[in-house]
Amino acid sequence: NAGVTQTPKFQVLKTGQSMTLQCAQDMNHNSMYWYRQDPGMGLRLIYYSASEGTTDKGEVPNGYNVSRLNKREFSLRLESAAPSQTSVYFCASSDGSQTRGYTFGSGTRLTVV
C-alpha cells in the first residue's frame, strides 16, 4: 500500500543510548517531515526536508539529527537519548502541490528510561 512507513513502532531506550528512527515514503513526494507528539499537545516539528539533499530545523530540533538519504527515506537520529525525548514520533511527506494534506506514518512510540 502506498504511504509512509515508519520503523520501529515501539522502542524503549536507556538514557544515553542512541538510535535511529526510519521513515520511507513511496509516493514520490519531495518534502518530508519529522514531528513529535507529547501528551496533551499537538504535533511539533523537529526537522524537515524540502527536497532531497536539504534539511532544516523546525521548532524543537535540539537533541536530534536527520538524514535525507534519498528521495524516499528520511531518518531521525537521537545521539544520546534523554527522558525528555519520550514521545510519539511521526514522519510525514507531501509533494507541496497537493491540497489534500500531508501523509503521515503510523508513528513510533519511544520511551527513554
Partner 1 sequence: AQKITQTQPGMFVQEKEAVTLDCTYDTSDQSYGLFWYKQPSSGEMIFLIYQGSYDEQNATEGRYSLNFQKARKSANLVISASQLGDSAMYFCAMREGNRWDTGRRALTFGSGTRLQVQP
Cis ω before 83 (30° cut-off from 0): no
Residues from 35 through 94 that contact partner 1 (CB under 8 A): 35, 40-45, 48, 50-51, 56, 58, 88, 90, 92, 94
Q: What is the C-alpha separation between 113 and 106, in angstroms, rounded?
A: 23
Give the residue with the Cβ less far from partner 1, 15 or 28: 28
Q: What is the C-alpha separation between 96 and 65, in angstroms, rounded?
A: 23
Q: What is the C-alpha separation between 108 and 10, in angstroms, rounded?
A: 5
Give the number of residues in contact with partner 1, rule: CB under 8 A: 33
Query: Side chain identity at 64, as an amino acid letter?
Result: Y
Give the residue with the Cβ less far from partner 1, 37 or 75: 37
Q: Which spans of this chain sit near partner 1 (rule: CB under 8 A)? A: 29-31, 33, 35, 40-45, 48, 50-51, 56, 58, 88, 90, 92, 94-104, 106-107, 109
